[in-house]
């Protein structure tokens, strides 16, 4: 399965719908757990498999985009 990575803190935000490929940075992600509506989780899994994107990378982009769109 392909791996993808999102923008680093010093890089501009990634436009919605485009996930950058990992550049072999070897960056480790700390574990993170949460609960999600089962239907939403199933849709996410299907979308990720269909688009050959790892779930952690899709979630990383989604959270980053959501945070970037929040008003302070």
Residue 17 lies in domain: 4-68
The two tokens of residue 57 are 């990378």
The Cβ of residue 22 has, within 10 Å, a number of other Cβ atoms equal to 15
Domains contained in the chain, number: 1
Q: List the beta bridge partners of residue 21.
A: 4
Query: Which CATH number goes with the domain that contains 38?
Result: 1.10.1220.10
Print pLDDT tens along the chain (72 aa): 444 444 445 555 545 455 544 444 456 788 888 999 999 999 999 999 999 999 999 999 999 999 999 976
pLDDT of residue 71: 78
Rg (CA), the chain: 13
Quick one: which of 64, 69, 70 has its CA closest to 14? 64
pLDDT of residue 64: 94
Contacts of 59 (CB under 8 A, 6+ apart): 44
pLDDT of residue 23: 43
């Amino acid at each position: 399965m392909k791996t993808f990575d999102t923008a680093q803190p010093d890089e501009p935000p990634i436009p919605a719908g485009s996930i950058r490929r990992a550049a072999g940075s070897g960056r480790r992600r700390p574990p993170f757990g949460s609960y999600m509506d089962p239907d939403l989780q199933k849709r996410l899994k299907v979308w990720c498999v269909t688009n050959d994107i790892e779930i952690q990378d899709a979630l990383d982009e989604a959270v980053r985009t959501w945070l970037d769109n929040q008003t302070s």
